[in-house]
Amino acid sequence: MINVRAAPARAAAFVKWRRLFGRADNPLVHGIARLPAKVRTKLLVSFLGIAVLLLLIALLGLRVLGQSNSRSESLKALEERAAGYQNLYTESTTFRDLLAYCAGGADVGKFLNGGRPAPGSTRDCLRSIDRTVGTALAGLGTATRLGFEPAADEAAIFGQIKGDYRALNGLVARITASSRPSLALHARAEVFADDLKIAAATLANRTQNKTDALVAQNRRAYSGSRNLFLGVGIGAIGLALLLGFVLSWSLIGPIQRIGGRLAAIASGDFSGHVDVPNRDELGDLGKNVNRMNDELRRLYRELEATSRHKSEFLANMSHELRTPLNAIIGFSQVLREKMFGEINQKQQEYLDDILSSGNHLLSLINDVLDLSKVEAGQVELEVATFSLREALERGIVMVRERATQNGVQLALESDPNVDLVEGDERRIRQVIFNLLSNAVKFTPAGGRVDVRYQQLNGELRIFVADTGPGIAPEDHERIFDEFHQTDEGAQQHEGTGLGLALSKRLVELHGGHIWVDSELGKGSTFVFTMPMGSA
Amino acid sequence: MKKLLIGATLVGLALAGSGYGALSKSSGTSVQKQATLYQIESIERTWHKAASFKNLNLMMSIWAPNSVAVIGGKAYTGKADIRTLFSKAGPFQPQNHWLSDTPAYKIRSTVNGNKGTLYFECHYIDIDTGKVAIVVGANLDVQKINGKWLIAHLSSSTPTLQP
């Protein structure tokens, strides 16, 4: 039958137990965490506690061993005495039995013979044992030389035994010396032999009882020691486990919470605070993490605002710069085309310089504008299906003239399985053009630039490989930063250091990524990916 | 002074209490020994009852399984051997009308734990003649086995005790 009243009580007890001993956040752990002591002190105290428990167990063990050893020695001494007294008792019994053969005289014979007088005389019987009684007494005499000192409470009885033995010695001397057996002498000898035997039995029994008592005491002591050890051992283990549990969770809990908060900060979440109630180093660490969180949040907001202002400024400035620049380029081209009349050689050279510088400045402004738009989140991709192969071919066409001038071979390896992809064609072509123009620019005469693409591991990879000077490993990441150029790039006095940074942003906007595989002197291969979902 | 008196009274009461406790314990031990000796001496009473009524089974009920009796130039070992001894003994013969008993001054007993000794001298009186037929002595080692005191060893004795 189910006790319905007991069930809620059991549930409440279970909840209480779980609250007390549940993993991390329980009153015990909280209490230890709130102790105003350093972690080192807490660890030291707990280890000292365990050491004290071990010491206690060791002391108990030594005490029990000492007692056991003492009892063993007592038992050995008792057993020696018991054996001596038992031997004395056996010899006295033997001697007494010898006397018993002829004891009682004619009455015993009549008793045994159905009440009728027995054949054979008592004297013959006595004569027959007189020959051996001396030998039996000698055996008894040997037994009386115990080989140890009787205990104080045994001395009096042993003294009586010695007295009885001396009396028996005298009587037996008279019995063996006499030519005529004497029933009276034998009867007196029986009395002394009885006394001696009773005394020997008393000593033997008493010593045996002491031995039995000591064995029983030893058994009880073992049982008590075992229970004590079990109790202390279980208690010590329980206490050590409790200490370990409480102390470890008072440390691990805060560390986990701090770790979680740091992970959130690392992922850009500055919204929360970590709650560490500890009044030790971990408490200080928690407070410092919270301070760091607040400071980072403030800096991040400032940085966001600054970046936004920068982008807005660049966008505005680029627009403001591009308007007059378009006029400069346009009118330069009009003059260059001689639409307003002939120009001399010198004027033509200056116009070419104006046009070239204007175009370079326009390209720079366009890149800055694009980059700032991307950073300001103002670029929206115009995703549509387009032919990747055609985009690559157009990119190659755009750089072919310069490649031919530089003596660089251009090649495209098409993948017949891949053609139409999804993305912003204009932005992808911008990326392709940036990579191709860089490759042509840095590849020396006689070199080559190879373009290929393929599907790999669920994504589309586009490779632009050149046989240029290569890029040092330490520059592999940095070349994708704004305004960063390699030494080679800086020597070319060409480019702005924005092309790769912009390409990286545009590829990432498409959900892909871009990197370079290169070694100095062995050329470079730029790779960017587009997720297959967009292809 | 009052405090001194109260203190002395308390000490006195404590000493009296401890003394009474020791006396009580000693007395208890003595009574226990007397009771055990009474049980041991019951062997003598059973012996004479069995001999007087020629009850061999009753006689054998007071012997231990591996008991020994040394009497009349022979050692009888085991209950079967001893039963044979008594079956031929004078008191158990149908033609003998013997009554047996031990005078109070002819019995001695000791006890030590589960072992003890018992000495008694038996007077067998022939009721047909009214005379003492025989007087024999027995020196016994007794042992408590399964809660009952039994004869483990008998040595025949020459009666010597006088009133």
Query: How close is the nearest chain B Cα to the Cα of A242, in Å?
Result: 48
Contacts of B134 in chain A (CB under 8 A): 107-108, 110-111, 115
Q: Residue A408 gets which letter from DSSP?
A: -
Residue A322: burial class (beta carbons within 10 Å; 0-12, 13-18, 19+): middle
Q: Mapping DSSP to helix (H, G, I), strand (E, B) and coil, where does residue A145 land? A: coil
Pick from B71, B96, B153: CB nearest A108: B71
Contacts of B157 in chain A (CB under 8 A): 100, 103-104, 190, 194
- Confidence (pLDDT) at A467: 94
Task: Show which residues on chain A lie within 8 Å of chain B, measured between beta carbons.
Answer: 93, 96-97, 99-105, 107-116, 118, 125, 128, 183, 186-188, 190-191, 194, 197-198, 201-202, 205-206, 208-209
Mutation target among A89, A96, A110, A112 for the B interface, most CBs of B within 10 A: A112
Q: Which residue of chain A is at minimal alpha-carbon distance from B92?
A: A114
pLDDT at position A388 over 50 = yes
For residue A59, how many other CB atoms are within 10 A of its CB?
Answer: 10
Share of chain A above pLDDT 90, in %: 25
What is the rounded average pLDDT for all residues in chain B?
85
End-to-end Cα separation, chain B, in angstroms: 62
For residue A303, how many other CB atoms are within 10 A of its CB?
Answer: 11
B154: left (phi over 0), alpha (psi -120 to 50) or beta: beta
Nearest residue to B159 (alpha-carbon basis) of B109, B98, B106, B118: B106
pLDDT at position B90 over 60 = yes
Query: How close is the nearest chain B Cα to the Cα of A214, in Å?
Result: 15
Q: Which residue of chain B is at minimal alpha-carbon distance from A93?
A: B155
- The complex's ipTM? 0.82
Contacts of B152 in chain A (CB under 8 A): none
Strands A448-456 and A409-413: parallel
Share of chain B above pLDDT 70, in %: 83
Contacts of A187 in chain B (CB under 8 A): 158, 160
Contacts of B112 in chain A (CB under 8 A): 201-202, 205-206, 209
CB contact under 8 A, B124 and A111: yes
Q: Which helix (H) or strand (E) holds B119?
A: strand B115-126
pLDDT at position A5 over 60 = no
Q: Are A254 and A39 in contact (CB under 8 A)?
A: no
- Confidence (pLDDT) at B27: 62
Task: Show which residues on chain B lie within 8 Å of chain A, measured between beta carbons.
Answer: 70-75, 85, 88-91, 93, 95-96, 98, 110, 112-113, 115, 117, 119, 124, 133-137, 139, 141, 153, 155-160
Taking residues A357-380, what's their average pLDDT?
78
pLDDT-wise least confident of A63-72, A183-192, A260-269, B10-19: B10-19
What is the rounded average pLDDT for all residues in chain A?
85
| Cβ density class A483-516: b for 16+ within 10 Å, e for less | ebbbeebeeeeebbbbbbbbbbbbbebbebebeb
Query: A359 vs A5, A325, A362, A395, A495, CA distance in Å?
Result: 91, 9, 5, 19, 12
Q: Mapping DSSP to helix (H, G, I), strand (E, B) and coil, where does residue B111 land? A: strand
CB contact under 8 A, A194 and B110: no
pLDDT-wise least confident of A10-14, A180-184, A233-237, A423-427: A10-14
Q: Are A32 and A242 in contact (CB under 8 A)?
A: no
Taking residues A470-486, what's their average pLDDT?
84
Contacts of A201 in chain B (CB under 8 A): 110, 112, 115, 117, 141
Query: How close is the nearest chain B Cα to the Cα of A194, in Å?
Result: 8
pLDDT at position A246 over 70 = yes
Q: Mapping DSSP to helix (H, G, I), strand (E, B) and coil, where does residue A272 land? A: coil
CB contact under 8 A, B155 and A208: no
- Confidence (pLDDT) at A133: 83
Nearest residue to A385 (alpha-carbon basis) of A344, A420, A347, A436: A420
Nearest residue to A88 (alpha-carbon basis) of A135, A140, A52: A140
CB contact under 8 A, B115 and A197: no
Confidence of residue A37 (pLDDT cuts 50, 70, 90): confident
Contacts of A110 in chain B (CB under 8 A): 90, 133-134
Q: CA-to-CA distance for A125 and A98, rounded, in angstroms?
A: 11
Q: Give the long-range contacts of residues B49-58, CB within 8 A, separation 24 or more.
A: B51/B91, B51/B92, B51/B98, B51/B100, B51/B122, B51/B124, B52/B91, B52/B98, B52/B99, B52/B100, B52/B101, B54/B91, B54/B92, B54/B94, B56/B83, B56/B86, B56/B87, B56/B92
Contacts of B139 in chain A (CB under 8 A): 96, 100, 190, 194, 197
- Which of A32-36, A225-229, B117-121 is the most confident on average? B117-121
Confidence of residue A534 (pLDDT cuts 50, 70, 90): very low
Contacts of A190 in chain B (CB under 8 A): 139, 157-158, 160
Quickly list DSSP for A451-467. Answer: EEEEEETTEEEEEEEE-
Q: Which residue of chain A is at minimal alpha-carbon distance from B88?
A: A114
- Confidence (pLDDT) at A205: 86
Q: CA-to-CA distance for A407 and B84, rounded, in angstroms?
A: 141
- Which of A122-131, A251-260, B24-33 is the most confident on average? A251-260
CB contact under 8 A, B134 and A107: yes
Residue pairs between chains A and B whose CB atoms are closer than 8 Å: 113
Query: How close is the nearest chain A Cα to the Cα of B156, in Å?
Result: 5
**What does pTM read for this prediction?**
0.54
A86-121 pLDDT, tens per residue?
999 999 999 999 888 888 888 999 999 999 988 877
Query: Rg (Cα) of chain B, in Å, rounded?
Result: 23
Contacts of B85 in chain A (CB under 8 A): 112
Q: Mapping DSSP to helix (H, G, I), strand (E, B) and coil, where does residue A390 land? A: helix
Pick from A99, A109, A128: CB nearest B72: A109
pLDDT at position A409 over 90 = yes
Confidence of residue A416 (pLDDT cuts 50, 70, 90): confident
Q: Which residue of chain B is at minimal alpha-carbon distance from A201?
A: B116
End-to-end Cα separation, chain A, in angstroms: 69
Contacts of A104 in chain B (CB under 8 A): 71-72, 136-137, 156-159
CB contact under 8 A, A100 and B98: no
Confidence of residue A259 (pLDDT cuts 50, 70, 90): very high
Quickly list DSSP for B68-105. Answer: EEEETTEEEESHHHHHHHHHHSGGG-TT--EEEE--GG
Quickly list DSSP for A312-378. Answer: HHHHHHHHHHHHHHHHHHHHHHHHHTTTTS---HHHHHHHHHHHHHHHHHHHHHHHHHHHHHHHTT-
CB contact under 8 A, A104 and B88: no
Query: How close is the nearest chain A Cα to the Cα of B73, in Å?
Result: 4
Query: How close is the nearest chain A Cα to the Cα of B37, in Å?
Result: 14
